[in-house]
Structure 1
Amino acid sequence: MGTTRTAIIGIGLILLIAFGKTALVSSFFLDELLRTGPVLLLLYLTFTILTGFAVFALYHFFGNLASQPQGVNARSGPRHEPGKENLVEMHARNWGLSKAETEVAILVVKGFSNAEIAKMRGSVLSTVKTQLGSIYQKSGLENRYQLIAFITDEVCDAAKAERNELQSKHRNALLRVLASPNPEENAANVPAGPNAATLSLKAGR
């Protein structure tokens, strides 16, 4: 219903804009001898087609921007920061999800309801439900709650692994500085970390 109403309004606007352009051109750029019915009709059809193409292109351009989940194309934060979008996309390739199914899965993990997802993607609710059913079948998960829990656990594990890796690198850097002949001079080369205060105390001894 909403899609049909939008289409009717869009067609009405196209016809109205084409009529306005035809009136302007015929009033200011055409001689009175050329203001005949066939010429005006040809102008009107030409402006209708051109306006229709322009509106169609703009509609799809802004529609695609609005339907893209936040974080799929533009991500903030550190380069290697684990995120739900990254993990969903990674598992989507393993599960064999389509692009649309991947975007729906991301929105589910972000906590949006089926109705909200349908509105954001400009689709009907039944399409979203069908896509979710396909996602669950391909992934082996039973429902949205298992999908959310699965990705959340992956995020926590990835964050923990990254934190352990950073701590290991910092600890190795501290050991190299403390083992050097001049620890006080080399202390400044160690990146800030949880053991920076300990390094300063040991280096000063």
Structure 2
Amino acid sequence: MSFLAELKDSKGGRPAVLALVVLLQTSAAVFFVANVVNEGSEDGLGPQLWMQALVTLALIVGVVLGTLELRRALNHQQAQDATIAKASGEMHQVIQAQFEAWHLSTAERDVAYLALKGSDVAEIASARNAAPGTVRAQLSAIYSKAGISGRAQFAAHFVEDLLAEGLPGEPAAS
């Protein structure tokens, strides 16, 4: 995998790529400014030097715009991270409140969290150092207390609130 592909695949890849581009452009701009100043002091301002100065100015404008875009991208990423963290915290509170309403024991809460995360019985048993039969019994107790018949309904119970506003493109309920 190339260096740029690795940057794109990393968390926040777009800002990392933009930072690299801005750094390269800044280095080139410094080189060209020094070149224009050096040639201008030696040979005077001829048409070729004017063209080099214009291209250098365009590069500097590109550096400024790239820096502004990088800042915008970083701010956008921070806002998204904050939104995700808030939603995650709120979802945790919703789950916790529902577990309390169902009067789940501490062990049942642990099993329920792992089930919501998608772990199967064997994975839950391994994580809790319990027998698979014990986990199945705890899942049955959880489903009974929740008034549902299985894992799909259990997960759907928590997703239902997230989808309360309907599907994208679906007319809003009146």
Tell me which interval the TM-score lies in, with the shorter structure as reference length. Answer: 0.3 to 0.5
TM-score (normalised: structure 2): 0.43
TM-score, normalised to structure 1, is: 0.37
